């Protein structure tokens, strides 16, 4: 029951939310192996709006309106931005560095996010909160770009990893104290790999006896 509950928290409406950063979760909407696309969870503007809703970026009403408003050109721009982020995440996970073009892609989305700072109550005091205006798909995915900026500015890039299940291509940010996380999800790949290792051990023992 606990494993099923954990998996339900990590997988919502068919999308994976195991990355630790929104930008990593966005990258995880496309699965590729050896440069070949295995599965793409974003098939069109409607899927993108649905992902933003499940990620908590927009409300259900906003997601429905966005799905009707965004066209194929805007969707293509979002997918191209995901491709830039994916290249960055894959390279960093392999020990590489972030390229200047990837930083410019992040800044480009952030520049296209219209809005304003609004003063709101926060507990017993006040805080300035950014209120986004409708900026098309750039406004919709701007929280993803902000997440990428936060990862680069305040995260530890050496903690970006790819799941060790050879059949999985999901990435995540390892928050464990001793950097020991190996799987995208213990409820999914972790248990699968443990079961396979258990089977191999018992098979070797039977072969020796």
Query: What's the pLDDT at 130?
Result: 66
Phi and psi at 133, nearest 5°, equal: -100, 165
- Do 123 and 102 touch, CB atoms closer than 8 A? no
Residue 14 lies in a domain: yes
Residue 145 within any structural domain of the chain: yes
Exposure on the CB side of residue 149, measured as CA atoms within 13 A: 14
Distances in Å between the alpha carbon of 90 and those of 14, 28, 80, 197?
22, 11, 15, 26
108's tokens: 């480009």
- On whether residue 91 sits in a domain, the answer given is yes
Environment class of 192 (CB within 10 Å of its CB; exposed 0-12, middle 13-18, buried 19+)? middle
If we measure between CA atoms, which residue out of 111, 108, 65, 60 comes closest to residue 84? 108
Residue 203 included in any domain: yes
The verdict on residue 128 lying in a domain is no
Mean pLDDT of 91-103: 97
CATH number for 167:
1.10.3300.10
Distance, in Å, from the CA atom of 202 to the CA atom of 209, rounded to the nearest integer, reads: 11
If one counts the domains in the chain, the total is: 1
Domain around 193: 2-110+137-208
34-67 confidence digits (pLDDT tens): 556 678 999 999 999 999 999 988 889 989 999 9
What is the rounded CA–CA span in Å between residue 43 and residue 108?
23
> Is 27 within a domain?
yes
Task: Answer whether residue 115 is part of any domain.
Answer: no
- From CA 134, how far away is CA 26, in angstroms rounded? 20
Residue 11 confidence (pLDDT)? 79
pLDDT tens-place string over residues 114-171: 777 778 787 888 887 666 666 678 888 999 999 999 999 999 999 999 998 887 889 9
In a domain, 31, yes or no: yes
């Amino acid at each position: 029951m606990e494993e099923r509950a954990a998996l339900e928290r990590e997988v919502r409406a068919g999308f994976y939310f195991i990355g630790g950063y929104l930008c990593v979760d966005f990258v995880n909407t496309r699965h590729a192996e050896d440069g070949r696309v295995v599965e793409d969870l974003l098939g069109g503007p409607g899927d993108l709006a649905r992902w933003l809703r499940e990620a908590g970026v927009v409300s259900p009403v906003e997601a429905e309106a966005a799905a009707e408003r965004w066209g194929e050109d805007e969707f293509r721009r979002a997918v191209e931005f995901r491709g830039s982020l994916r290249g960055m995440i894959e390279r960093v996970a392999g020990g590489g560095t972030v390229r200047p073009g990837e930083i410019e892609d992040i800044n480009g989305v952030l520049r296209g996010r219209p809005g304003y700072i609004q003063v709101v109550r926060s507990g017993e005091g006040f805080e300035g909160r950014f209120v986004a205006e409708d900026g098309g798909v750039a406004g919709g995915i701007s929280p993803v770009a902000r997440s990428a900026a936060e990862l680069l500015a305040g995260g530890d890039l050496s903690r970006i990893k790819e799941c060790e299940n050879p059949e999985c291509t999901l990435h995540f940010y390892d928050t464990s104290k001793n950097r020991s996380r190996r799987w995208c999800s213990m409820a999914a790949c972790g248990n699968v790999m443990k079961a396979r290792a258990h089977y191999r051990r018992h098979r070797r023992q039977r072969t020796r006896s």
